Structure 1
Amino acid sequence: MDVDSLSPTQRDALAQLQALTNGGDAEVAIGVLSSVDWDVQRAAEIVFDGVPPPPPAPAARIEEFDIDDSEQGLLSGRRSGREFRQVESSSLSTIVIRPMRVVFNILAIPLYPLFSLLRFIFRALRIPLPNFGPFTLSYRPLGPGPSHEAKDPKSVAERWVLTLEEETGAVCISRSANRRREQGNGHSVATGVAGPSNLTVRSAWEEGSSGAAEGDLKLLPDFFLGGYEEFARTCQKDIKIGCIVIVSDEHDDVPEFKRSTLTDPSLLRVIQENDILVWGGDIRDREAWSASQKLQATTYPFVAFIALQPRRAPASSAPPAPTMTILSRHQGPSIPSTSAPTAAQTLVTHLNEHLLPRVNPFLAKLRSQAAERDRERKLREEQDRAFAESARKDAERIEKRRQEQRAAAEELQRAAEAEARAAAEQRKAEEAKKLWEAHRMEWRRWIRRGLVVREPRPGENGRGKTMRVGVRMPDGRRVVRFFGENDAVTALYAYVDSLFIPPEYGQDADPVAPPEGGWVGEAGLSGEMEQSGRTPEKWWGFKLVLAYPRREIPWEADKKVGEIDVLKGGGQVVVELIADEDGLKAKGKGKSAVETDDDDEYHTEESD
């Protein structure tokens, strides 16, 4: 397609694309533009990225800014407060210099390796790149160069700031104080947060062409490192004024703008004192290109100020939330220094006399409201923490009470179980006792029939000398019985044992044979004791003691009554019950026969 056959709009789009790509083949540019319906932005993306970007989604959100250019007329010198003077490049630059530069670049293609080597040496030695005015030696190939290799917005911003420091010989404000302390050159004009660049600061004598006095430092603003959208969100979140700087190395006014405006001490002081965030970039980068489209930049260098401002709404309705607004836009050359749109003095005057007095009160109100909200939020958080702490303590008290209740319930359950076990053991002991008493009653009745001997008759000599034995029972009964000296001690114990048989058991009904088919006589009695596992005292359930002096008369098999010294010639014996240990465990008490006896003329004493 021929250039002459293009419409004025298409020619304008072709000129913009060639300006962005540093010239290039017109036919290639026309082909790229025609493939994207003459959209310069999409065509630039195709050239820089190599592949066409996907078509934007219909519902994609595009950040919108209100435009407040009420003070623009003050910058142009015109009376109208709504007018904005667009500053463009001179006709000489458009008609003569740019075509000559394109021709010069074509002729200098064989020297590009040498230019690249010189650029590398200048950067390694920290020397500013030489500037030859309109014919600056530079190699900018069609498509993304080294500055476009990093797609991360932060990396792109860092690279642009690095290039800016190399071109101006300046350094960001925040790092200047450290360098000045190292060199002993005094104090910087201002201090700020950490700067974005990793370059070391160069003093004025290293810069050569800077024109500054030896020992002075040239400073740059602390540029925000990140994308344009992130920068705008930061200005909105922190309620600060934002300053956007967009440049294009294809414009002849940019180098002077970088050296004079961006390093001007008075402008830097205003930026620092009012805590203005600064973001910048070259239009060849995607972020800067996108920002230029949103900010409607028409020529470069371009400076714009943005901040939160109230929306216009009817008086009857509630005030809407503030929105990010373009406060002012400044584009064009920075010379002369007193009246140019982007001159430092012009920007300082605009900030001090118009923009800051108009914007700061509203921003101060927003900051106050934000601080109040933050205070209320912290107060709510403290209240929530106090409530949570109180709830935690209440929960701990409730849990402790529950644990105590559970412990008490478990203790009651254990006590009930122990009581049930004790009751079961008592019933078992009582049943065992009843069985034992029934068993003993059968043996008592057999003993009464088989082992209790009759009293000796007068004149009977076969049983030896007759002995009179008095027996005092535990219930207070007193009985007297006569035994022969040759009678066995078993006969005495059998007689006392028969006294425990209730009257309802008649003697005539006593069994003839031992219970359970045991042996007869003392041998059967001894076998029963051994089989029961009880001692003789336990089996009998009582013991016989001499009343005074107290002497125990133990039971021994095959022993005669006359062999017991304390009974020779007769005597008085007392029956003492043996405490049933099983019964004591079951009932929890027990008394001896002496404790239950009534007081009488018989007295006992404990044996030594």
Structure 2
Amino acid sequence: MADPSNAGNDLSPAQQDALVQYTQVTNQDVEAAIPLLERSEWNVQIAITKFFDGETADPVAEARAAQNAPVSSVRFENLQESPLHSSSRRPREAGPAPAPRIVPQRDTIHRPPFLLTLLFTPFSIGYRVAAVGFRLALYLFSFLPRSLQPRFLTNTVSGFWSTSGRRMLLPRDTASRFKREFEEEYGPNDLPWFDGGFAQAQDLAKKELKFLLFVLVSPEHDDTESFTRETLLSPQVTSFINDPNNGIILWGGNVLDSEAYQVSTEYNCTKFPFSGLVCLTPKQGSTRMGTIKRLVGTIPPSKYVSELRSAMEKYSAELIAVKSERAARDAARNIRTEQDSAYERSLAQDRERARRRREEAAEAAEAERRAAQEAEESARKAELREKWRAWRAGRIEAEPEAGTKGAVRIALKLPERAGGQRIVRRFRGEAPMEELYAFAEVHDLVSSQEPEVGGQEPEGYVHEYDFAIASVMPRRVFEASGEAMRDVIGSSGNLIVEDLE
């Protein structure tokens, strides 16, 4: 469906709202909807009614024209100029009669005001009690022989208990009941009865550009059974209706049902059985449904089929033209839809690529920021580490002299990154193992006697050793703990420094 905003830019906001409501209900093109709404004075309900029922003469316009027409004060009539005679000589309106769209309405129950109900409550109760008693008396008299029953009671009983009413159902249920009763009466058949109401069948015929053949029967009519058995159920008529090339939608109704009775009233059916053929009549209006054929009474099957075929051939060309126009319009709409979809897909791809570029740029910026932060943190840690090494080098205990009682002699082999040399040194026996780790860490500063040795311990810095000291045979790793060296290593030891990385 086309966008109303593009086709009616010069419309007022109220007219655009009416156009949107109308196109949403009827699914009609905007180019054809705007003229119809203008003819309906932009009344959405009137326009929708004209779309489904066809456009007829406007009663308001006719009343205004009749009011403005000059009226003669004296009128002379004779037999030739009488209204009845003149109407018969008037040329008939060109084209088929419009086919009204019948929607069955349930009977509404009008309740009296509460005060009247309250006032007539005693009479209502009395009437119900009398009715129950009368029915009971009729029921008891019904067991007596007919000769002993009073005449007025016999007539009353027969008239009282007889009923010819049929419960009003929904259109689909009414169609199912008609089909079931038809099969019970005439047996199984191949007639494709439409499972729905008359309005739904007419809408389907308009949408799919088919012919709607509706059949109205009256069980009380003498010609109903002969028409059904000899004409409607004949192989010639059945095959003609079932032929998909003819495009016929068959709807049937019993005039005892409310919907079928309304259809017979609207289509002026005075004799049964009645058959009517309805289709779209583009020449009379782009949305008008017209009755193109009326068949009444008993008709031979060959004539029945020929009458229907001749009427259908007369309007088949118009329906084919409308179908081609709709196909072209649908094809153009599909092309526009595909183009819009392709544009939306391309736009979505562009958006996705732009989003990915933004994400990649953000990730690169975040990685660069983290790298700079890590480099800054590494530099800060390296600076603090060097300060700590300088401070710790100034706090290394002096080597005890040879022969000092309780001293521990340690031969320590440094890793390759520190030169790989082997150092022999004495430590106090009570010195903690952490002192040995600190000596291995700052040996280069202690041996070189750098002037940077000393200073204060950096605040908030916790030094972590990146090596371990272990014995060779047997292998044992010593922790940088506060235990005394003599208790852990003994009087002497041959140790190596191993990098943890």
Q: TM-score, normalised by structure 1?
A: 0.40
Q: Which is higher, the Rg of structure 1 or of structure 2?
A: 1
